[in-house]
């Protein structure tokens, strides 16, 4: 789908909050407020029959109608269905994300008119499956997704803009290196980037898709619930609305603890009530292992980039959770530098995405790019092959992690047996030699091989990995005309018809039922050279 609109819009689709920015007439990124007048929209969906309410009201409903509310769907992208049944129905996580995107699209249209083309951000650590799911969410919400860009890269672009790297006339040739520490509501990402004039190059990236502010909240929830249990022998977590209310209290208390030394959290359940006081020191003690996990990953990423702290010019803070004083303190101790928060931690990613959108639109108009962005892949990509000596299946890596993109790679394998009829190429993502420990991200099958093809016939497998993290696989079989070019489709993927049905459903044109189905293919293993 294409649009006549030339407005550059970027969306930071966060686990807990979503922000939208566009580039105004003067070329500056501006965050768009939603219909409630806020800069960010909670990524939460409340279902009322066929009607979906997104944002602040849905968040509030966690205390009263928790069974009808979906939150943190981003954490489940890549799964077939969201863990919770809503209105008797199982939603794919990307459809829940699409409800959020649809709401911010409608709200943004009130300010900038109708638009379709957007750049959406994802954590750098997102694998192919989750990237594709994000792209699908954009489609279901009625968008034409220009690109999916990594959140730290977007933050670095926004930083470059503020610091003047994007100034056409004044771009400095001095090389700068940034470490982007991004701790949001549900995910943690760390990326080392090099900025040289107009080139933005990611050197290494790592992270954890299951670590974010939400985990800090849950430590407070558990602490208060245990105190309540000690006093009344009742667990407030066992009833969903009470648990939802307690979580909201704790999330609020966590924010207070970023500004004050202590806070008191109230909890009531089954006609019993109590207030639990907690100091910042206690909160830091309860969560130090979570912070240590981010510290460990930060150190590892610097090492993977082949740098030491003295090579790093800026330590950039991104994501709402970096407001916790423990984060800056840890980074100051670790790096010997004052973390840089010159770009708003809530808006940096959306601003960078909007700037990236404007660059793409300029390119589409035939103008030269103002900046060049180069990413690395966050996970190794390979295919499942049998080791000829042991006959054990293993992950044969074609593109190791932290390789600069775009990249093409080739490896030669062989057919396993004589007269093999088809070849199944299973693509996996992960570092382990064992395919079972990697994520299965897709497969393609070369069928109808010529009769009497000898065993050990060479098979060329080529991967073309683009800088937006999308992968195309080429397979060719020596001495035959059999060849296959395949943009990888994830297993259990949603078909185009289903995507269209969701798009109609979510954007409200027509009620339709989108069913999920799995596909099944023949299998035949390829043998490694
Ligand atoms: P993001 O996904 O970047 O919007 O980050 C949202 C996360 O930041 C949520 O877990 C919030 O609870 C957290 N957050 C926002 N403001 C604060 C604050 N002042 N102190 C601690 N955490 C915060």
Q: pLDDT value at position 528? A: 47
Of 374, 390, 420, the last residue of a domain is: 374
Bridge-partner residues for 484, per DSSP? 475
Pocket test for ligand 1, best of 286, 321, 345, 347 (most atoms within 8 A of CB): 321
Residues 465 and 396 in one domain: yes
Q: Write out pLDDT tens, residues 460-517.
A: 999 998 876 678 999 998 888 777 887 765 555 688 889 999 999 899 743 334 433 3
Residues 441 and 392 in one domain: yes
Rounded to a whole number of angstroms, the distance between the first and last alpha carbons of the chain is 43
Distance CA 360, CA 370 (A): 10
Residues 390 and 250 in one domain: no
385 pLDDT above the threshold of 80: yes
4 pLDDT above the threshold of 80: no
Report CA(184)–ligand 1 centroid distance (Å): 6
Q: How many CB atoms lie within 10 A of CB 437?
A: 11
Domain count, the chain: 3
Residues 388 and 323 in one domain: no
- Residue 426 domain flag: yes
Length of the chain: 529
Distance CA 70, CA 137 (A): 15
Pocket test for ligand 1, best of 73, 256, 320, 325 (most atoms within 8 A of CB): 320
Among protein residues, the one whose CA lies closest to atom 16 of ligand 1:
320
Q: Which of 166-180, 276-290, 390-404 has the lowest mean pLDDT?
A: 166-180
Distance CA 83, CA 161 (A): 40
Residues 337 and 484 in one domain: no
Q: pLDDT value at position 273? A: 97
| C-alpha distance from residue 22 to each of 19, 26, 176, 273 (Å) | 10, 11, 26, 46
78 pLDDT above the threshold of 90: no
Q: pLDDT value at position 522? A: 32
Residues 136 and 279 in one domain: no
Atom of ligand 1 lying closest to residue 16 CA: 2
The two three-digit tokens of residue 498, written as one number: 């289903």
Contacts of 508 (CB under 8 A, 6+ apart): 102
156 pLDDT above the threshold of 50: yes
Q: pLDDT value at position 284? A: 98
Residues 84 and 199 in one domain: yes
Distance CA 42, CA 97 (A): 11
The two three-digit tokens of residue 469, written as one number: 């993290």
Reduced DSSP (H G I as helix, E B as strand, rest coil) percent helix, strand, coil of the chain, to 5: 35, 30, 35
> Torsion angle of alpha carbons 366, 372, 375, 381, nearest 10°?
40
Q: Write out pLDDT tens, residues 18-34.
A: 999 999 998 899 999 99
Coil, strand or helix at 108: helix
Nearest to 134 by CA among 377, 490, 442, 375: 490
Q: pLDDT value at position 169? A: 37
Report CA(12)–ligand 1 centroid distance (Å): 14
- Looking at per-residue pLDDT, the higher value among 398 and 491 belongs to 398
CATH number at residue 473: 2.60.34.10
Residues 304 and 178 in one domain: yes
Structural domain of residue 264, as residue ranges?
213-285
| 8 Å CB contact between 518 and 376 | no
- Residue 276 domain flag: yes
Of 374, 402, 417, the last residue of a domain is: 374
Distance CA 360, CA 343 (A): 22
Q: Write out pLDDT tens, residues 114-135.
A: 999 999 999 888 887 888 899 9
| 8 Å CB contact between 125 and 16 | no
Residues 35 and 140 in one domain: yes
Pairing between strand 471-477 and 458-465?
Answer: antiparallel
Residues 10 and 119 in one domain: yes
328 pLDDT above the threshold of 90: yes
Q: What percent of the chain has pLDDT over 70?
A: 91
- Residue 522 domain flag: no
Q: pLDDT value at position 142? A: 95
Q: What percent of the chain has pLDDT over 90?
A: 61
CATH number at residue 147: 3.30.420.40
- Residue 151 domain flag: yes
Report CA(320)–ligand 1 centroid distance (Å): 3
- Residue 290 domain flag: no
Residues 342 and 474 in one domain: no
| C-alpha distance from residue 421 to each of 172, 194, 238, 443, 526 (Å) | 58, 48, 55, 16, 11
Distance CA 213, CA 188 (A): 9
Residues 58 and 199 in one domain: yes
Place of tokens 């510290």: 295
- Residue 121 domain flag: yes
- Residue 517 domain flag: no
Q: Write out pLDDT tens, residues 224-260.
A: 999 999 999 999 999 999 999 999 999 999 999 999 9
Q: How is the beta sheet containing 51-54 ordered, strand by strand?
A: 51-54, 44-48, 69-71
Buried b (16+ CB within 10 A) or exposed e, 317-343: bbbbbbbbebbbebbeebbeeebbeeb
- Residue 447 domain flag: yes
CATH number at residue 279: 3.90.640.10
Among protein residues, the one whose CA lies closest to atom 8 of ligand 1:
320
> Torsion angle of alpha carbons 369, 120, 209, 406, nearest 10°?
-30
Confidence tier at 50 by pLDDT (50, 70, 90): confident
Of 359, 374, 389, the last residue of a domain is: 374
């Amino acid at each position: 789908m294409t649009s006549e609109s030339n407005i550059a819009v970027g969306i930071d689709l966060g686990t807990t909050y979503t922000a939208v920015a566009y580039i105004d007439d003067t070329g500056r990124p501006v965050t768009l407020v939603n219909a409630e007048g806020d800069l960010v929209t909670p990524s939460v969906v409340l279902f009322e029959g066929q009607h979906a309410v997104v944002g602040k009201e849905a968040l509030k409903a966690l205390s009263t109608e928790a069974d009808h509310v979906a939150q943190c769907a981003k954490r489940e992208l890549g799964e077939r269905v969201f863990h919770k049944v809503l209105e008797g129905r199982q939603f794919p996580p990307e459809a829940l994300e699409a409800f959020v995107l649809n709401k911010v699209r409608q709200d943004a249209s009130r300010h900038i008119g109708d638009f379709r083309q957007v750049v959406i951000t994802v954590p750098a650590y997102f694998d192919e499956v989750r990237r594709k799911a994000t792209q699908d969410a954009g489609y279901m919400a009625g968008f034409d997704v220009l690109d999916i860009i990594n959140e730290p890269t977007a933050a670095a672009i926004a930083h470059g803009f503020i610091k003047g790297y994007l100034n056409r006339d004044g771009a400095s040739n001095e090389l700068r290196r940034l470490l982007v520490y991004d701790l949001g509501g549900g995910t943690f990402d760390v990326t080392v980037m090099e900025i040289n004039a107009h080139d933005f190059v990611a050197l290494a990236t790592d992270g954890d898709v299951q670590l974010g502010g939400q985990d800090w909240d849950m430590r407070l929830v558990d602490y208060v619930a245990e105190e309540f249990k000690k006093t009344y022998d009742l667990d407030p977590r066992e009833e969903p609305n009470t648990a939802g209310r307690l979580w909201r209290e704790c999330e609020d208390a966590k924010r207070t603890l970023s500004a004050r030394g202590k806070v008191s959290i109230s909890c009531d359940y089954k006609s019993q009530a109590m207030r639990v006081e907690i100091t910042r020191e206690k909160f830091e003690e309860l969560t130090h292992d979570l912070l240590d996990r981010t510290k460990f990953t930060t150190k590892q990423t610097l090492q993977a980039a082949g740098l030491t702290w003295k090579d790093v010019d800026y330590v950039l803070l991104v994501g709402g959770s970096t407001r916790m004083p423990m984060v800056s303190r840890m980074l100051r101790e670790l790096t010997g530098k004052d973390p840089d928060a010159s770009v708003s931690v809530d808006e940096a990613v959306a601003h960078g995405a909007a700037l990236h959108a404007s660059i793409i639109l300029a390119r589409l108009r035939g103008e030269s790019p103002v900046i060049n962005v180069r990413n690395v892949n966050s996970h190794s990509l390979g295919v499942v092959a049998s080791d000829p000596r042991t006959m054990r299946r293993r992950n044969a890596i074609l593109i190791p992690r932290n390789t600069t993109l775009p990249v093409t790679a080739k490896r030669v394998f062989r057919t396993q047996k004589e007269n093999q009829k088809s070849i199944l190429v299973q693509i996996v993502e992960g570092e382990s030699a064992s395919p079972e420990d990697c994520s299965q991200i897709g497969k393609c099958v070369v069928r109808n091989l010529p009769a009497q093809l000898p065993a050990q016939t060479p098979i060329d497998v080529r991967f073309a990995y683009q800088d937006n993290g999308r992968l195309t696989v080429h397979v060719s079989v020596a001495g035959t005309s059999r060849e296959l070019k395949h943009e990888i489709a994830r297993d259990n993927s949603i078909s185009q018809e289903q995507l269209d049905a969701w798009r109609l459903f979510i954007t409200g044109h027509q009620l339709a039922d989108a069913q999920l189905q799995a596909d099944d293919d023949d299998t035949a293993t390829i043998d490694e050279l």
